Structure 1
Amino acid sequence: MAGNGALSGAVIAVAGAGGPAGRAALLRLAEAGATVIGSDNDPERLAEAVDAASYATGGATVTGDTVDLLDLKATHDWATRIEKDFGRVDGLVHLVGGWRGSETFTRTSLDDWDFLEMLLVRTVQHTSLAFHEALQRSDRGRYVLISAAGASKPTAGNAAYAAGKAAAEAWTLAMADYFRKAGGPEGPTSAATILVVKALVHDAMRADRPNAKFAGFTDVRDLAEAITGIWEKPAAEVNGNRLWLTEKP
């Protein structure tokens, strides 16, 4: 299976690869033939995800690096190392996430904002700044941000989370403008795009809550399929766009 899919020859980095969405993305990208390099701040969780994807795909090239994405230099070093080792970088999938909320708007804790700003915004800033030049050098470079519908319609108890997601989207759209301008009259050859979900669900969640409906949630395997599909579309079609995997609010 390895190396024979639509993404054969592509080199794609996945930030936040150790979680359920990251595991699904590693697997699906590897199935599509890509060389996949995951990062996570938990070495044990990352190793399990990498081993699972490599085993399931019959030996596809899936590796992992423990990288502190809150350290700009470390993130730059990761991007440089990938391009040096594999000759190119065709994608960065940003799956770093986290959530904190409150019962009401008036009970919002700014400590939650401090926490979420680091996870949801700073990691996007660092990965985009570290990878944008390599992605522009690729003939199919893609930066893929996973965002939430709440960024477009915040609720009272989700002020910090929604604001963080909205900021990450704005930063990614600015990167898309960079790709647009770099492409000149012929249009962009690389793209920054946003996949929007209401929330994510995976098998362990269903097992823990067998009676829950998870209405409007996106299964992590469906998300991984949508991520892989970004490379099948022209850069101009996805660059600077929000692609909705759930109902628009």
Structure 2
Amino acid sequence: MKILVPVKRVIDFNVKVRVKADGSGVELANVKMSMNPFDEIAVEEAIRLKEAGQAEEVVVVSIGPAQASETIRTALAMGADRGILVKTDQTVEPLSVAKLLKKVVEQESPGLVIMGKQAIDDDSNQTGQMLAALLGWAQGTFASKVTLSEGSVDVTREVDGGLQTVTLKAPAIITTDLRLNEPRYASLPNIMKAKKKPIDETSPETLGVEIAPRLKVVKTEEPPQRQSGVKVGSVAELVGKLKEQGVI
């Protein structure tokens, strides 16, 4: 079985995001970029399934500028077999991403698509569900455990009331949650090997998908500064302060 893993290039989670002076978006120039953490978990899970003999090939796909090939190389260094870059310099919204992935899925015919539940830049949590709807495939979201069997996959997913296990008929879409696994670090030998692994390049135009944005960002603002706290000497003084501020 082949597993397809979409990955996204985002601002590194350790970097403090800064808003542009004109409020048109966040600053991306000279900022460290890395693979979306939820996508790292998806890559790790696909590699573990391959190492367990339950998959034959792990293919990684990314949609973005030429620099997104670096994100693909990271996945190849972790253990994926080859990559696909859908090259575009435009901002691609979740629905357009899902349409592009649908075309890639039709070309690659994977038995399973494993992807992060959301990207940490826009936090949309939409692409996996949209892709499942476009393909007409079963979906298991927020996966904390994945078990493959003949022709099906059991997904334990995190829900508000605890854990829910669903059995999906393959092919299927799985979106990963934080507790699914701990991604590995790529070793230096594997990083060197990744440089020789193939990355195919295509474009939205070649795939026949229109990616013009449907949304317009009107303004981006920093969150308000948190006010400093004050000490009170008694419960009565605390209640008085809360009344002054209109909290109670």
The TM-score with structure 2 as length reference comes to 0.39
The TM-score with structure 1 as length reference comes to 0.39
Higher relative contact order (CA 8 A, sep 6+): 2
Indicate the structure with greater helix content.
1
Indicate the structure with greater strand content.
2
Larger Rg: 2
